[in-house]
């Protein structure tokens, strides 16, 4: 995983009006009043949502099939390689019975995974510079070969056109207010009942929210097993450090600022194999030998006192939801 993140394309803290109180644990993901413009410095190696389109308005009497889609991350480039590690990407598909048209909806990073997970350290700038946004993408068609070859394409429920249109309104709200990608789940131990300090906010969580919304609208899901990938850091109780201004501003903590920059420096993009291995040893020294990790979450910095097993990729079952309204579907 470290190899993939280090080789991933690399970026800025952006403004927004925060809202909602913060509970103790887990720290809730903050939603925003609007999506800020992206900085021109932030460039993606692969274009985000190149064939994206607006979500269509369906006729009320339409019956729409809903499909669970899952394939290895970067399957288009590496095939099933990451599938062997159970690092999977999730999406949802729709098929209209009235028009016969298929659609795909997914949520992913605007600037690829590396930029969402680690910042750039730019010359002349004290604070780390983040290129981190995630968003929903909707487009016509389902690439059967992509999802079937090494992953999953399976019918999970059917919904009415009315339910689809209500879901579309929810997607608009969700997309405009949930704008930052959060790679890591952080918890106290591998025990399933252990304290979760922070929860991730990535593609699978969008699909789970979408399924729950459909269930709340009345969809009845098939009883099939559904598993999702999580990348988990293991830590003692996190320590709040502050935001960009309080740490890196004129009245900031210069010692802490230097420590955060030093921590993030080995995660920069690499030009040579030698650089990569030198910085890999630095990462091992920080995270495993010295039990240190600096997390940027909700535009705030936290110190994680890391502990064994430090990091784990899990592929765990999350059951399809049960709704609260009168049912419609299979």
pLDDT of residue 208: 98
Residue in this structure with the two tokens 């927004």, named with its chain if needed: 16
The pTM of the full predicted model, rounded to 2 decimals, is 0.89
Q: What percent of the chain has pLDDT over 70?
A: 91
- Mean pLDDT of the chain, nearest integer: 90
pLDDT in tens, 24-80: 899 999 999 988 888 999 988 889 999 999 999 999 999 999 999 999 998 877 777
Residue 4 counted as domain residue: no
Residue 222 counted as domain residue: yes
Structural domain harbouring 225: 63-317
Residue 46 CB: number of other CB atoms within 10 A? 12
* pLDDT greater than 90 at residue 6: no
3-state DSSP call for residue 57?
Answer: coil
Query: How far is residue 296's CA from residue 242's CA, in Å, rounded to a whole number?
Result: 10
pLDDT band at 20 (very low <50, low <70, confident <90, very high): very low
pLDDT of residue 61: 97
Residue 162 counted as domain residue: yes
Tell me how many helices (H) and strands (E) the chain has: 9, 13
pLDDT in tens, 109-167: 999 899 999 999 999 999 999 999 999 999 999 999 889 888 999 999 999 999 999 99
pLDDT in tens, 239-257: 999 999 999 999 999 999 9
Residue 76 counted as domain residue: yes
Give the single-character DSSP code of 304: E
Residue 18 counted as domain residue: no
Residue 21 counted as domain residue: no
Residue 57 counted as domain residue: no
Number of domains in the chain: 1
Residue 157 counted as domain residue: yes
Q: Are 248 and 102 in contact (CB under 8 A)?
A: no
* pLDDT greater than 90 at residue 89: yes
Task: Give catalytic residues, as residue numbers.
Answer: 89, 203
């Amino acid at each position: 995983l470290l190899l993939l993140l280090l080789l991933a394309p690399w970026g800025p803290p952006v403004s927004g009006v925060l809202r909602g109180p913060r509970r103790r644990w887990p720290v809730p993901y903050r939603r925003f009043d609007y999506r800020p413009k992206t900085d021109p410095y932030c460039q993606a190696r692969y274009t985000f949502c190149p064939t994206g389109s607006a979500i269509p308005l369906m006729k009320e009497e339409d019956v729409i099939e809903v499909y669970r889609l899952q394939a290895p991350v970067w399957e288009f480039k590496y095939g099933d390689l990451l599938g062997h590690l159970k690092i999977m990407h999730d999406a949802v598909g729709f098929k209209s019975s009235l028009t016969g048209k298929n659609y795909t909806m997914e949520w992913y990073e605007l600037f690829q995974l590396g930029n969402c997970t680690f910042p750039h350290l730019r010359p002349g700038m004290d604070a780390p510079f983040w290129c981190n946004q995630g968003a929903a993408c909707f487009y016509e068609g389902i690439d059967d070969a992509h999802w079937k070859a090494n992953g999953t394409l399976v019918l999970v429920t059917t919904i009415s056109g009315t339910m689809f249109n209500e879901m579309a309104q929810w997607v608009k709200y969700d997309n405009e207010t949930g704008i930052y990608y959060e790679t890591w789940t952080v918890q106290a131990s591998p025990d399933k009942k252990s304290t979760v300090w922070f929860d991730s906010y990535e593609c699978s969580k969008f699909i789970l929210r979408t399924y729950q919304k459909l269930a709340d609208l009345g969809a009845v899901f098939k009883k099939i097993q559904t598993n999702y990938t999580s990348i988990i850091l293991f830590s003692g109780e996190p320590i709040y450090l502050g935001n960009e201004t309080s740490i890196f501003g004129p009245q900031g903590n210069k010692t802490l600022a230097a420590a955060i920059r030093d921590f993030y420096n080995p995660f920069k993009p690499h030009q040579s194999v030698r650089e990569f291995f030198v910085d890999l040893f630095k990462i091992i020294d920080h995270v495993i030998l010295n039990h240190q990790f600096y997390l940027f979450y909700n535009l705030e910095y936290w110190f994680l006192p890391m502990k064994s097993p430090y990091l784990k990729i899990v592929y765990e079952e999350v059951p399809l939801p049960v709704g609260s309204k009168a049912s419609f579907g299979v």
